């Protein structure tokens, strides 16, 4: 089974955010990057999580754990169920 890998370098422009913000989002979602040589990637499942979080943030949501824990858990369960 082949896993789709998306380069981390492409994601800041995808979401219109700084690289440091991307790494914060990866941390908030507990996504670990996949390293191949000097490049880092996220899996297709990780990308779906990031897309969901981005949509949540664009609609006024937050990554503040006390306010968004339910949302983040639901997003995680949706992607991995």
pTM reported for the whole predicted model:
0.79
Whole-number CA gyration radius for the chain? 13
| Extents of the domains making up the chain | 5-80
CATH of domain 5-80: 1.10.1660.10
Q: Which is more confidently placed, 79 or 52?
A: 52
- Say how far apart CA 42 and CA 46 lie, in whole Å: 6
> What pLDDT, in 10s, does the model give residues 1-43?
456 999 999 999 999 999 999 999 999 888 999 999 999 999 9
User: Could you give the residue ranges of the DSSP H alpha helices within 1-81?
Assistant: 11-15, 19-28, 44-58, 65-80
Q: Are 27 and 66 in contact (CB under 8 A)?
A: no
Q: Which is more confidently placed, 22 or 56?
A: 22
């Amino acid at each position: 089974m082949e896993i789709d890998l998306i380069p981390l370098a492409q994601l800041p422009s995808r979401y219109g955010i700084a690289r440091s913000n991307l790494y914060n989002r990866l941390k908030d979602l507990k996504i670990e990057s996949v390293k191949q040589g000097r490049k880092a990637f996220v899996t297709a499942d990780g990308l779906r999580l990031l897309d969901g979080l981005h949509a949540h943030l664009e609609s006024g949501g937050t990554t503040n754990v006390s306010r968004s824990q339910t949302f983040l858990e639901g997003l995680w369960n949706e992607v991995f169920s």
